[in-house]
Amino acid sequence: MRSRRFATSVAAVALLVGGAVGPLAPAAHADHTRQHTCDQAGGQFTQGALPGQDRCVVVVTTSITGPFGRPTSSLGDPVPVNSPLTTETPVVPTGAPGVRTETRDVGDPVVVEGERRGEPEVTSEEVDAGEATATPVVVAGTPEVASRTERGTPISTDAPGTRNCERVNNENGTRGVERCERTVVTTTTTPTTVITTTTTPQQRVTTTTQPRQTVITTTTPVTDVFTSTQQQESCVTTTQPTSFTRTSTQLTTQSQIVTYQQRTMTTTTTSTFRYVGGGPGTLELVVFPVAPNPRVQTSTTAAEPLVATVGLIAGPPQVTVETLPGQDIVTTTCAPIAPEITTADGETTEDVESVSAPAAPVITVAREDLDPIVTETTVPGPPVVTVSTRGTGSTCFNNPSTAAQRANRC
């Protein structure tokens, strides 16, 4: 194993071999410092208190691994070769036999179909028997009479008259002369007619007769019954366990193994340089009064052993003996037994019988109001007579006594 600084420690190696070394020429692009010169040599730069005390320490480590001592020989684990050789013994009974008794069906069952009638249920119900018969009759009610009077065209007649008469001659006269106001007396006669209206209500009365009958229904449940007869036999099965012995011989090989012990020797060389001259300077070994320079240290550690296979030899055969279960020996003997009879219910239906008998009819009466019968009769009524008196504004005289009064006689 080589240190990462080994490749760059050219100056240090030269010093170890030949002593002092000429100046190291730094690369053209390098910084001209002592740190850079030490880095180029693969060392670790240490700055002293004074310029002459600067140091560059270069450490080079090399490692070599190799065998030592006498090798040891051993054999590897046996490895199977090809398929094993197997031999088997004949089967032999093993242990007590097992006995099992079971009942088996023989052939198909014989099924006989029958029926079971249940408890009948009787119900009674009245229903209509045919169409209903309807008979309509119109019935008149109590008539109502109402009268009204209608007036005709009035006829008016005028007649002269007087009013407000007062005596105008001396009370001592033979006859009393009266001056009266002339009037017109109008008599208006209006004829009347009496109209009598007779309203007779009427109804249509419909009598409906619905014939009825009583239906008596008897319902009897009927269940299908299936009787199955299955012939059977009793079978005794004896099962005898068996076993056999299997011997397997497996050939093997073993590897011849040689093991070499190994160790690693590590050499560490530490060189201390100082700087000669100003600036970056050149490197030369420091001479210590007592300790050597460079200082060489060697250490040894155990490494992984080297194992090599150098050949194959026949290994010990592997023999296995095992006892395995064989095929059972089964024997069965059967004998008839009593058949199995089972009964199963199937579908349940209903047997329905109905008997009818006449019942009392249902009679309903419906009333429907019709338009009433209306008749009118007319007879003349008493006339309505009205009399009105109006003054004419002129005067006349009753029992006139003078020519002028007589000329204006009432």
Q: What is the pLDDT of residues 216-258, one digit of tens each?
A: 999 999 999 999 999 999 999 999 999 999 999 999 999 999 9
Distance in angstroms (rounded) separating the CA atoms of residues 406 and 394 = 15
Contacts of 381 (CB under 8 A, 6+ apart): 149, 191, 192, 193, 194
Domain extent at residue 271: 1-66+264-300
For 178, the 3-state DSSP assignment is: strand
What letter represents residue 279's amino acid?
G
Average pLDDT over residues 67-81: 90
Q: Regarding predicted confidence, which is higher, 21 or 179? A: 179
pLDDT at 64: 92
pLDDT at 17: 33
In a domain, 19, yes or no: yes
In a domain, 259, yes or no: no
Cβ atoms of 388 and 192 within 8 Å: the answer is: no
In a domain, 56, yes or no: yes
In a domain, 24, yes or no: yes
- 18's enclosing H/E stretch is helix 10-18
Average pLDDT over residues 272-279: 83
In a domain, 2, yes or no: yes
Average pLDDT over residues 66-74: 88
Q: What is the DSSP string of 184-200?
A: EEEEEEEEEEEEEEEEE
Q: What is the chain's mean pLDDT, rounded?
A: 87
For 95, the 3-state DSSP assignment is: coil
Name the domain count of the chain. 1
Residue 176 has pLDDT above 90, yes or no: no
What letter represents residue 208's amino acid?
T
Cα–Cα nearest to 203, from 373, 376, 374, 375 = 373
pLDDT at 259: 92
Cα–Cα nearest to 114, from 231, 229, 230, 222 = 222
Q: How confident is the model at residue 268 (pLDDT cuts 50, 70, 90)?
A: very high
Distances (CA, A) of 117 to 76, 120, 221, 341, 351: 93, 8, 6, 21, 9
Average pLDDT over residues 146-165: 91
Token pair for residue 22?
């000429």
Express each pLDDT in 2-21 by its tens digit. Answer: 333 333 333 333 333 333 33
Q: What percent of the chain has pLDDT over 90?
A: 65
Q: What percent of the chain has pLDDT over 70?
A: 92
DSSP letter, residue 2 = B
The pTM for the full model equals: 0.32
Q: How confident is the model at residue 169 (pLDDT cuts 50, 70, 90)?
A: confident
Pairing of strands 92-93, 178-240: unpaired
In a domain, 110, yes or no: no
DSSP letter, residue 42 = T
pLDDT at 56: 92
- 335's enclosing H/E stretch is strand 329-398
In a domain, 32, yes or no: yes
pLDDT at 32: 67
In a domain, 237, yes or no: no
Q: How confident is the model at residue 51 (pLDDT cuts 50, 70, 90)?
A: low
Distance in angstroms (rounded) separating the CA atoms of residues 361 and 268 = 141
